[in-house]
Copies of this chain bind each other. A is one copy, B any other.
Amino acid sequence: MRWIRYQYGGSASYGIVEGDQVEEVSGTPFGEHRRTGHRFPLTAVRLGVPLVPLTFYAAGINYEEHVREAAALLGREPDLPDKADIGYRANNALIAHGEPIIIPADATEQVQYEGELVVVIGKRAKNVSEDEALSCVLGCTIGNDVSERTWQAGDRTLWRAKNSDTFKPMGPWIETDFDLDSMETVIRVNGEAVSQFATNNMIFGVAHYISEMSRYLTLHPGDMIWMGTDGATQNIEAGDTVDVEISGIGTLSNPVARAG
């Protein structure tokens, strides 16, 4: 099942996608809800981000090849994480499928995509085992962890490197039928594939992360975890369009602009 969140009459509503139609739902996928019977063509609604979480979790470093590529660029030895320490991103930076990534005027040319699986929590999780963990997941969507590399290397925190307004495209929807092992992530810039990897080839998997996190914190319905990216990344610039496709979910597509 595919959940979308869309703008309609000035407020955001959830809906369920069926073919090229959307059925409106009152309530949210994270609480009580019911189908209203109202249907629209999918092309007639403006997509919003599928959710705004209570807490925005991000694994950050979670694929070996990405760690090795990043270390090689800096002339350092790769430093693989030895445990599933979760990080954070910021809700101010979220934008929907189709909305523009706006590079700040004083950013360098080192602004890069990172295509990521996003896991959406559907049930409260506290002290859950790895075996139980996936039963707390409502579904999956797609994120683009846009990053300014000189700020990432030089600032004390990741605030503007990762969380400048518009640096976190997410969508287009939440897919509840998913099979992690069969997923492949493909990133395209202007239609040309620039990165491709097995989505589940993570250093620490989704179930392990959820179980470890839940030892110290409560995951709430509507929280989400961005799972990291693999491989090398390249610069994007004004006029580009970045697509992140994950098989079984869909494609997140965003144009790129630069602030004047």
The chain A residues found within 8 Å of chain B, CB to CB, are 52, 54-55, 60-61, 81, 83, 85-88, 90-93, 104, 126, 155-157, 159-160, 163-165, 213, 215-220, 223
Contact = CB atoms under 8 A, between A and B. Distances in A.
18 contacts: A54-B91, A55-B91, A60-B157, A85-B156, A87-B157, A87-B159, A88-B88, A88-B90, A88-B157, A90-B217, A92-B217, A92-B219, A92-B220, A104-B215, A104-B216, A159-B216, A159-B217, A160-B217
Q: Report how many copies the assembly holds.
A: 2
A212 to B, nearest CB: 9
Nearest to A85: B156
Q: Does more than half of chain A's interface fall in helix, strand or loop, or is it mixed?
A: loop
Contacts of A86: 157, 159
A26 to B, nearest CB: 19
Contacts of A216: 104, 159-160, 163-165
Give the one of A87, A104, A156 with max B CB within 10 A.
A156
A92 B157 contact: no
A93 B85 CA distance: 16
Contacts of A81: 156
B55 A217 contact: no
Give the one of A61, A81, A90, A165 with max B CB within 10 A.
A90
A126 B92 CA distance: 12
A199 B91 CA distance: 28
B165 A217 contact: yes
Given A54-B92, A60-B157, 7 more contacts: A55-B90, A83-B155, A87-B157, A160-B217, A164-B217, A165-B216, A165-B217
A164 B85 CA distance: 12
Contacts of A55: 90-92
A154 to B, nearest CB: 9
